[in-house]
Structure 1
Amino acid sequence: MKVGMVFGDGVSGKGAKEVLKKMKYEIIMVDDKTGMSSDSAEELLDKTNVFIKSPGIPYTHLVNKAFEMNVEVIDEIELAYRYMKSSGIKTKIVAVTGSNGKTTVTSKITELLQRAGFKCEHAGNIGNSFGELICSRNDLDYIVLELSSYQLENLKTFKADIAMVINLSPDHLSRYKSKEEYFDAKFNIGKNQTEEDIFIYNLNDKDSLKRLSRITGNKQGVTVNTGKEKAVCFTDGESVIYKGEKVLNVKELSLKGKHNLENVLFIVAAAENIGIDKEIVKEFLYTTKPLEHRMERFYKWKNVLFVNDSKGTNIDSTCFAIDAYKGAVLICGGKEKGLPLDELVEKIRENIEEVYLIGEMTERFKEALLLGGYPNRRIYAAGDMKNAVKMLREKLSGDEEKTILLSPSTSSFDQFPNFETRGKVFKELVKEYFEEGEEL
């Protein structure tokens, strides 16, 4: 019997375990907190046929030892895809990545496909693991996969029917040697495609354009700015146009903001390639609701609006949020990822009234703000979310119009298990300390 070693007993690891069961493998589960230790597992590598590394786990001694011993190292995404193909499952794959917008695009393509009558679910970096979903549902027409750079590192045979890279901006530099290495990992999403497969990219993203030569699929560009003459889908500011035909009025879109307009172009391009009726696309994009934790206007207290952008986990996403809420009071900070702060500091200096800093990045953030000319009197080192909200409650009268924007610009793992928990805690604290307000 073949042996599969799974390193990491989280969502992805559990999905890999389900797939290996279906494939009749003997399973070795390794997790230094909840299962077999890495040291013990190393002694079993010589009998291991395939090593599945959970995406959140770095390249530890055990992983590198597996490479040294020529044990095949893959991720759960690759394993689940192999099972799908070997089992004759005909489900088509739409794969989505990008530094910003991928959760919105993944969720909305899934909802749109469901609205159009397809059997469709999403998985990957959102909701279920791919492995768990494909093991429980072999009747789906489509699976829409949100894929992080971590999940794209060890792909070998995986191929998406439609793949897309929404945009690229520096992130996860504590994991990667450079932003170029991170961008390269993102572009693995287009691996193994043929001319029959679709690759949708952003004509306004210079780092994507640099990497197009490695894509073997049918390349289709979209843009909200430059390169309209080369685009299959673009906006002229008033309309969304696909292959010369007006599809949508921009003013009627329910997803607001420039970043969401970019997301809409990817959704429309995917829908057109799948063949969804334009009237269904129009009705959906005029009425669909924004995602929780993504520039979510959730509460009003007197003249104070609270916005939950906990999904703002990198510099660009927080810059987008600041552009949408200029003059806001910003709650920012979280896990240190080693990202340069110059662009964000400039955006804050020009547009933000006050900053409340939380988490691991507090001291470096404060230093960067001061070096960038942001006044010390407008910086508050709150430490954690509860203290930030408490400080705001003590200071605000509610007489003046203000917007309180949570947009951390980094991940949550120093104080919260994920961005969803961070956003929910923020919302609960706001309702607790500003109890006379109303939900929106």
Structure 2
Amino acid sequence: MKKAMIFGAGVSGKGSEKTLKKMGYKVFLIDDKTGISSEDGLKILETDSINIFIKSPGVPYTELVKKALELGIEVIDDIELGYRYKMINNIKGKIIAITGTNGKTTVTSKIQEMLGKAGYKAKVCGNIGYSFSETVMENPTLDYYVLEASSYQLENIKEFKADICLVINLTPDHLSRYRDLDHYYDTKFNIGNKQKEREYFLVNTSCAESLKRVKKISGNIIFLGSTETDRKELVFAKEGKIYFKDESVLDIELASLKGKHNLENMLFIVCVGKILDIPTEVIREFLYSTKTLEHRMENFFSYGKVEFINDSKGTNIDSTKFAVEAFEKPILICGGYDKRLDLTPLEKLIKDRVKEVYLIGDIADSLEAGLLKMGYPKDKIFNLKTLDRVLEQIKLKINQNEREIVLFSPATSSFDQFKNFEERGKIFKELVISYFN
């Protein structure tokens, strides 16, 4: 019997386990909290003949992973496993693979919804919370698998190939994982490594880092962007409308997804729709009526004239920049896990655009020091470390008869205090309601 080792018992690890068992493997699931320990895993590697090693994306390159590589065991991830299962079983559904620093969850979700409106069977999977391999195994008759892929999930793909690839944008992130920004950006571009000319790769001409990597693309390049350039964008924005070639697809003002970042997202959604020959009226009606996602610029509560915005998905500086710029002098709550990024752009944003700032998490002290050095007033900085203490302080200070925006957009990951951004956003919303209801 073939044997497999999986490192990490999260969503992708458990999905890989189901898929491998279906493929006839004996599976060793390694997880220091809920499964076989790493220490025992090392012994198994030494004594058992392991055919394949699946590394969950959130798992670092520990001694166990290095040992597998040293022994010449192939190390892949759930995305690669799902692709191999799909090929072995001649599953016909097409793959739309989405990556980028910001917007990928919105684009993934909305493409799947649009496909449903157009009459196709489609499911989201990958980084959005569903194992790709398990989704393929359990849904072999889908028309489309709409796959969100993080950089972590693209580190160990080998044969994986998508029918349509999207790199929405590339901005600084995850330097605690990668050697430098080029390493991070190049990992994102792994998404299209095996494409042929008949497959599509969508490139955002408004993203300088994407344009630098055009030569890496082996698929059929489709350019799109927020303006027309000499790249001859297939989809672009002009005079308040989104165009496909010469055809006006929709009025941006009438779209339900608001803001500069959502314009970028809509360009990709429109482009995928047109590539798949979805009628313009279906695309237009969908983008006029679709709802925003939870934890993404979510206006969820009013306290008199005070509006609370949950943007817990703001996990990097660029994402928070988009959020802050959508309002006039908001009160900002930010901070969290230290990704070892340069915080100067965030500090400058706060100085120029934020009325008061409430700091939480690992980077709170660094941010406070940087803001003071930059000349941001000390009496506008509240370094309180936790959301509970922040909302307690805001309740004491806020006047419900004055119009204010309280924006929770952390600008970094949640791992220092929360399991993920969803848990962080959920707790924020619960605390707001408990203090202000």
TM-score by length of 2: 0.98
Cα pair 2:256 2:290 within 8 Å, conserved: yes
1:4 aligns to what SS in structure 2?
strand
- Letter paired with 1:139: T
Look up the equivalent residue of 1:231 and give its one-letter code: E
What is the number of equivalent residue pairs in this alignment?
435
Alignment partner, residue 377 of structure 1? 379
Shifted more, 405-414 versus 217-226: the winner is 217-226
How far off its partner does 1:229 sit?
Answer: 4.9
**Post-superposition shift, 1:336?**
0.8
Amino acid at match of 2:163: D
1:131 to 110, 130, 133: 133
- State whether residues 96 and 146 of structure 1, in contact with CA within 8 Å, keep that contact through their aligned partners in structure 2: yes
Residues 30 and 36 of structure 2 are in contact (CA less than 8 Å); yes or no, is this contact kept in structure 1? yes
Name the amino acid aligned to 2:42.
E
Equivalent residue for 1:438? none
Alpha-carbon distance in 2 for matches of 1:397, 1:240: 40
Given that 2:313 and 2:421 are in contact with CA atoms closer than 8 Å, whether structure 1 keeps it comes out as: yes
Which residue number in structure 2 is paired with residue 41 of structure 1? 41
Query: 2: distance between equivalents of 1:272 and 1:175?
Result: 36
The AA in structure 2 aligned to 1:304 is V
1:75-154 alignment runs, 5 A limit: 75-154=77-156
Deviations 1:340-390 (A, max 9, x none): 111111111111000000111111111111122211110001111111111
Q: Is the 8 A contact 1:222 1:231 kept in 2?
A: yes
**Which residue of structure 1 aligns with residue 396 of structure 2?**
394
CA distance in 2, matches of 1:370, 1:54: 40
SS in 2 for 1:188: helix
C-alpha distance in structure 1 between counterparts of 2:375 and 2:146, whole Å: 44
Answer yes or no: is the 8 Å Cα contact 1:204–1:226 preserved in 2: no
CA contact (8 A) 1:257 1:324 kept: yes
- Taking a change above 3 Å as real, the CA distance of residues 394 and 137 of structure 1, as seen in their structure-2 partners, is same
1:227-256 C-alpha deviation (Å, 9 max, x unpaired): 265211000131111122111111111101
Structure 1 residues 18-417: aligned runs within 5 Å: 18-46=18-46, 47-225=49-227, 227=229, 229-417=231-419
Q: In structure 2, how many angstroms separate the alpha carbons of the residues matched to 1:341 and 1:145?
A: 31
CA–CA distance in structure 2, aligned partners of residues 237 and 187 of structure 1 = 31
Unpaired stretches in structure 1, ≥5 consecutive residues: 436-440
Q: CA deviation at 1:405?
A: 0.1
Identity across matched positions, percent: 51
The CA distance in 2 between the partners of 1:299 and 1:30, in whole Å, is 42
Name the counterpart of 1:6: 6
Q: Is the 8 A contact 2:321 2:349 kept in 1?
A: yes
Change (3 A) 1:226 1:204: farther
**Alpha-carbon contact 2:228-2:236 (below 8 Å) kept:** no
Alpha carbons 2:94, 2:162 under 8 Å: kept: yes
Shift of 1:326: 2.7
**Secondary structure in structure 2 of the residue aligned to 1:230:** coil
Partner residue, 1:432: 434
Q: Does the residue aligned with 2:133 lie in a helix, a strand or coil?
A: helix
Per-residue CA deviations over 1:142-172 (Å, capped at 9, x if unaligned) read 0100100000001100000000000001111
Q: CA deviation at 1:322?
A: 0.7
Cα 1:229/1:177, change in 2 over 3 Å: closer
RMSD: 1.0
Moved segments of 4+, more than 3 Å: none
One-letter code aligned to 1:373: G
Q: In 2, Cα distance between the equivalents of 1:148 and 1:248?
A: 30
Conserved 8 A contact 2:11-2:129? no
Runs of 5+ in structure 2 lacking a partner? none
Q: 1:384 to 1:237 in 2, by over 3 A?
A: farther
The answer on whether the counterparts of 1:95 and 1:164 sit within 8 Å (CA) in structure 2 is yes
Q: Which moved more, 1:186-195 or 1:229-238?
A: 229-238
**How big is the shift at 1:221?**
1.1
